[in-house]
Amino acid sequence: MSRLFSVFVAFVASFLLIGSAQAEVKVLTSIKPLQLIAAAVQDGVAIPEVLLPPGASPHNYALRPSDVRKVQSVDLLYWIGPDMEGFLPRVLNGRTLPSVAVQDLPGMKLRRFAEDSHSHAEDADEHDHDHRPGTLDAHLWLAPVNARVIAEKMAADLSAADPANAERYQSNAKAFDERLDALDQRLKKRLASVEGKPYFVFHEAFDYFEEAYGLKHAGVFSVAAEVQPGAQHVAAMRKRLQEVGKTCVFSEPPLRPRLAETLVAGLPVKLAELDALGGYTPATAQGYEQVLEKLGNDLAGCLESL
């Protein structure tokens, strides 16, 4: 009996050992772009999770109890930092497992909002308080050079947490880096024809992308979505559009500002969308590239159609 019991104990122990060695490292990211970078690194091993659902704002998301439990329990958590996800620091204070604010990683190329980073309409009476001059521009994932740094960090963390798959993580990160080289060349070629063409945005979220590809918006119509702007504000914004002539005004999905149609009525202006977050993009190895490529195509497509 004792021999049978010993065999049984040895079997259970070996089963548990194998199970723990093959246990999946659970990765959670705050927003979709970070999930897509993690998906490239984890390709063939696991699929990372994302905290914010499509359409949710990373600036003021309200965590559910299930979200808090998830934040506390995952093995690795990646977020932009307090300049983006202001709702996270309080919850992360109670977390004992690794959390990485990617804005603090060595090698990141960071920007700060300039003095003129709000509305170019001088009489505007509403401002985007999240983008105060001198504060960090946290939309850092829109620069491929930053995506490379983030992927390298994720590959290093995953290799340490899951040595059995370390070679795969490193290989995936290298392949991601090579695909970013190809993406960079495609975007430079695609956007060359619209370099210097003026356009406007409702939210100053695209400066990293613009800097990488020689673009610059002509103005920012930063109006809080829940606030109906005054007549003076709308008149100043329309005057700016009239001065420029044919142009595009870009909002971000899922909501178009309520004043958009009024703003462009009777003017040679097209309304279009630029999606900085890619909320509905599948979490695949190529997802990050798809977000940036669509961003470039949407921007160039509108400006070329004028």
Q: What is the pLDDT of residues 134-179, one digit of tens each?
A: 889 999 999 999 999 999 999 999 999 999 999 999 999 999 999 9
What's the gap between Cα 15 and its chain centre? 40
| Separation in Å, CA 84 to CA 59, 132, 137, 155, 244 | 6, 13, 8, 23, 32
Q: How many other CB atoms sit within 10 Å of the CB of residue 80?
A: 24
CA distance 164 to 187: 36
Tens digit of each residue's pLDDT, the chain (306 residues): 455 444 444 444 444 444 444 578 999 999 999 999 999 999 999 999 999 999 999 988 999 999 999 999 999 999 999 999 999 999 999 899 999 999 999 999 999 998 555 444 433 333 344 567 788 999 999 999 999 999 999 999 999 999 999 999 999 999 999 999 999 999 999 999 999 999 999 999 999 999 999 999 999 987 655 556 678 888 899 999 999 999 999 999 988 888 899 899 999 999 999 999 999 999 999 999 999 999 999 999 999 999
Task: Please give the order of strands across the beta sheet that includes 27-29.
Answer: 49-50, 27-29, 76-79, 99-101
| Separation in Å, CA 71 to CA 28, 63, 221, 277 | 8, 10, 35, 20
pTM: 0.88
What integer pLDDT is reported at residue 84 of this predicted model? Answer: 96
DSSP secondary structure code for residue 219 in this structure: E
Residue closest to 286 by CA, chosen among 140, 179, 142: 179
Q: Who contacts 258 (Cβ-Cβ below 8 Å, separation ≥6)?
A: 225, 228
What integer pLDDT is reported at residue 48 of this predicted model? Answer: 98
